[in-house]
Amino acid sequence: MAVETSTRPYVGVSSQRFKFLLGTLVILLAVGYLIFTATQENAQYYLTVEELYARAEAGTLGDRMIRVSGAVVGETIRYNPQTLELTFTIAHMPGDPDEIDKAGGLGAAIQAAVNNPDAPRLQIYYVGPKPDLLRPEAAAIVTGRLGEDGIFYAEEVLFKCPTRYDEGPLPNSPAEG
Amino acid sequence: MIADIGLITLTLGFVLALYAVGASLYGGWRGQWKWVESARNAVLLVFGLLTISVLAVVYSLIRLDLSVAYVTEVSSRATSLFLRITALWGGQRGSLLFWSWLMAGFVAAVSLRKWESDRTLMPYVIAVATLTTSFFIFVVTFFANPFARVWHIPGTNEVVKAVFPPPGAERFVPVDGQGLNPLLRHFGMIGHPPTSYIGFTGFVIPYSFAIAALITGEARKDAWLRTTRRWTLVAWLFLSIGLLLGGRWAYDVLGWGGFWGWDPVENAMLMPWLTGTAFLHSVMITEKRGMLKVWSVVLIILTYILVVFGTFITRTGLVSSVHAFARSSLSMPFFIFIGLMLLGSLTLLMKRLDTLKSDHELESFVSREAVFLLQNMLFVAITVAVFWGTVFPMISELITGDRITVGPPYFNKVTGPMFAALVLLMGVAPLFAWRRQAARTLGKALWAPFVVAVLFAVALGIRYHMHPAAVFGIWLISFVALTTLLEFWKGMRARMSARKEDPLTALARLITRNRRRYGGYIVHLAVCLMALAVIGDAYFKQETQAPLRIGETLTLNGYTIRFDGLREYLGSDGREVLEAEISLFKDGEFVRVLRPRRDYFIVQQQPVTIPAVHTTFAADVYVLLVGWEEITATSATFKMYWNPLIIWMWTGGILLIIGTLIAMWPDRMALGDVSYVLRPTTTQPQPSAGG
């Protein structure tokens, strides 16, 4: 059965073990370095509209790509099917999950954001197929850069429609039905 | 009515599962078989009860019982019968119940095995497996109950979903439900949840055996590994199928021409697959050489915790994702459960470390053991990198207060080199001998495939002006595929000369007589094919877009599409379809008609863009209808992708399934191993009573 091989006087085992530890260390360092540099190169701020403006004013946006989340204001969606130019405006909504919970869930937080005329807004410009999930009062996550003209030029847009699944209100509330 | 029955059986199932944990622990501890037997019966009953609950949900979905909240969330009048059934896993409440039911099924199945060889382990296997199952039943019962009703408090404009009515509330039945999320109406998404759930839940078996082995000190003998090998392969196979179907769904439905986006939900599934794959390999070393025991145990613990973490991520929306799952009250229970599991498993491991001593030292770096160890480290390193990238926004927010994300480029950059190293190891590892390998013989075996692969890759690279990384990738894949094929050839040649068999018989017998080994090699070949698709996706993809009037054309890489017209019609499942007809030409020759379309789901007000795809072995032509002239319907805008080598992802996937099936096929029909009666020969646990 299992004998304590390491205590056996066996030439080479300890140097073998040392080499093994060294090899492991080298691999760990290489992997760590890879993760570290890749994180540095690809880190993007993930901001709310308010935070974006605060940083823009303070001049701490940097020249990296930025990710911004907000609520899509329905009547602002414009799409040109010829050029695939898409513009819409997002309104500030809290990014902190606890604040969203306090507002009564994502759906309610979006509603509040869109209906609040004082909430900071950001115009988004994007070229590409109109995403299926883009609709009034969707949650948007856009990745791109803030232009000099105050328009956010997005390279990637993602949408979530939290109001419709799982926690959503029913299609006909009792007041109507 | 039926839903109430489901609620009752669910609650009973929860209570009974807790009883099974207690009874099996007590029975195992005191060596009292009647308690263990009672626990086993309870486990079977839990599965029966949950089956009734699942059937009750399915029945409510089919009959469209709109007083049940879950039915209103995932079904509607327009939903077809088939989709109503699959709606079982279309939303959170149903899928968590489905998950618990599958897990209870695995536990019930393992408890029906012949127990002779694992008499000491089994009480604890049942206890551990049922404990984690009861956590999921607990979550279903108290946090995501699929039998919750819709209630309305008179005089307000609010409806509440709850099992029991809030004070003064009346039952409320809405006119119609919301229907299944349109994006989920695809064969990939119909099949993806059940297969991945089977994969996820299946890992409960090896995990429970590992923990039981630690508890009892039986880890000293590696019997638990042999017992669970096939269970692990089943879980791994289904997880792989789940990943493939998920990728196929993304390719067909999400409309960006790719199959993998490093989305948190995808990562959540990939991570247990990675550690599970590492586990499948480390157990070979543990079985053959009695080494890497700690690795094996750590890997299976890690895999199972990642499984629960995966459900946590997908089901709580902790990490923002393209998947439309909301953040919910589930976070806390999951967080606590994962914490306890991690702490408990690792404490136990530390206490039992003495039972996991290696039988042998690592003798040389140039040995199969060393290569396997390196491979294990790489799998774990990739998992760590993926985990880091997935939870980085949360970590950065905790530390710096800023939410910082890393996108797909991070994942590609970090995992790319490590995956490449893994593929290389996959090719050379079978040539390494146990204990130590002479470098000279290794060189002899490898130089020919090495040179052939270099020539092949360089020739292709020059011919098609490839990126150096792509040339390297092609070299790597062809080298590994060649060495693996050579293994088949060597085996065949030996049989042909020793037994005078013809080549086909030799190949067939080679595989069927060494199913584990050659099944594994087939999986390795499958991975080569899939790597080819990844390289195609990463380096050779092309795209273009243009608005076209009827009769106008758009050309990409030798393929031309001509817009022939638009038509609109009413489709099934409550959708309006807008379909474009385009003719596809290759080098001027007509190939076929393609029909990309936009489905508009009326109830959900949800458009879904469905690409039209022309598939060949070399490349897919993938066309999306992305815009159109509303009134005259005489012009439309198309986005066209040329996606090379994509087909090898799916054919590789099928080959992977075949290889895994070969590797796990039992030697004889295992029906004899199933027995209901637990006939203890004595009241004392008998660790090694052989059957």
Same domain for A122 and A82? yes
Q: What is the pLDDT of residues A32-67, one digit of tens each?
A: 999 999 998 888 888 889 989 998 888 888 778 898
Same domain for A80 and A10? no
Please check whether residue B606 touches A, CB under 8 A.
yes
Burial class (CB in 10 A: 0-12, 13-18, 19+), B416: middle
Residue B609 is part of which domain span?
A: 542-647
Grade residue A1 by pLDDT with cuts at 50, 70 and 90.
Answer: very low
Question: Which residues of B14-169 form beta strands (DSSP E)?
Answer: 149-152, 159-162
Phi and psi, residue A70, nearest 5°: -175, 180
What average pLDDT does range A146-175 have in this prediction?
66
Q: Note whether B92 contacts A166, CB cutoff 8 Å.
A: yes
Same domain for A122 and A156? yes
pLDDT at A173: 38
Which residues make beta-bridge pairs with A48?
A69
Please check whether residue B634 touches A, CB under 8 A.
no
Q: Note whether A38 contacts B413, CB cutoff 8 Å.
A: yes
Residue of B nearest to A2 (CA): B359
Please check whether residue B320 touches A, CB under 8 A.
yes
Instruction: Say if B530 falls within a structural domain.
Output: no
CB B310 within 8 A of CB B196: no
Nearest to B606 among A4, A130, A132 (CB): A132
How many domains is chain A built from? 2
d(CA B244, CA B250): 10
Q: Helix-strand-coil percent breakdown of chain A, rounded to 5?
A: 35, 25, 40
Residue of A nearest to B93 (CA): A166
CB A56 within 8 A of CB A146: yes
CB A138 within 8 A of CB B606: no
Burial class (CB in 10 A: 0-12, 13-18, 19+), B572: exposed
Q: Tell me, what amino acid is at A52?
A: L
Please check whether residue B171 touches A, CB under 8 A.
no
- Number of C-beta neighbours around residue A34 at 10 A: 18
End-to-end distance of chain A based on CA atoms, in angstroms?
76
d(CA B497, CA B287): 31
Instruction: Say if B42 falls within a structural domain.
Output: yes
CB A168 within 8 A of CB B184: no
Same domain for A16 and A68? no
The per-residue DSSP string of A79-141 comes to EETTTTEEEEEEE----SHHHHHHTTSHHHHHHHHHH-TTS-EEEEEEESPPPTT--TT-EEE
Q: Tell me the nearest-neighbour CA distance from A98 into chain B, angstroms.
A: 10
Chain A neighbors of B413, CB-CB under 8 A: 34, 38, 41-42
The per-residue DSSP string of A84-97 comes to TEEEEEEE----SH
Please check whether residue B615 touches A, CB under 8 A.
no
Instruction: Say if A20 falls within a structural domain.
Output: yes
pLDDT at B140: 93
- Number of C-beta neighbours around residue B175 at 10 A: 12
Same domain for A26 and A106? no
In the structure encoding, which two tokens stand for residue B342, read together? 């991690």
Q: What is the pLDDT of residues A90-146, one digit of tens each?
A: 999 887 766 776 777 777 788 888 888 888 999 999 998 888 888 888 889 899 999
pLDDT at A174: 38
Please check whether residue B327 touches A, CB under 8 A.
yes
B residues 418-437 closer than 8 Å to A (CB):
418
In the structure encoding, which two tokens stand for residue B38, read together? 């009672």
Interior angle at CA B323, CA B320 and CA B328, nearest 5? 60
CB B250 within 8 A of CB B261: yes
Q: What is the CATH number of the domain that holds A129?
A: 2.40.50.140
Q: Tell me the nearest-neighbour CA distance from B204 into chain A, angstroms.
A: 27
What residue ranges of chain B have pLDDT lower than 70? 116-117, 315-329, 667-691
Instruction: Say if B604 falls within a structural domain.
Output: yes
Same domain for A29 and A51? no
Q: Note whether A129 contacts B157, CB cutoff 8 Å.
A: no
Q: Note whether A2 contacts B290, CB cutoff 8 Å.
A: yes
Instruction: Say if A175 falls within a structural domain.
Output: no
Instruction: Say if B479 falls within a structural domain.
Output: no
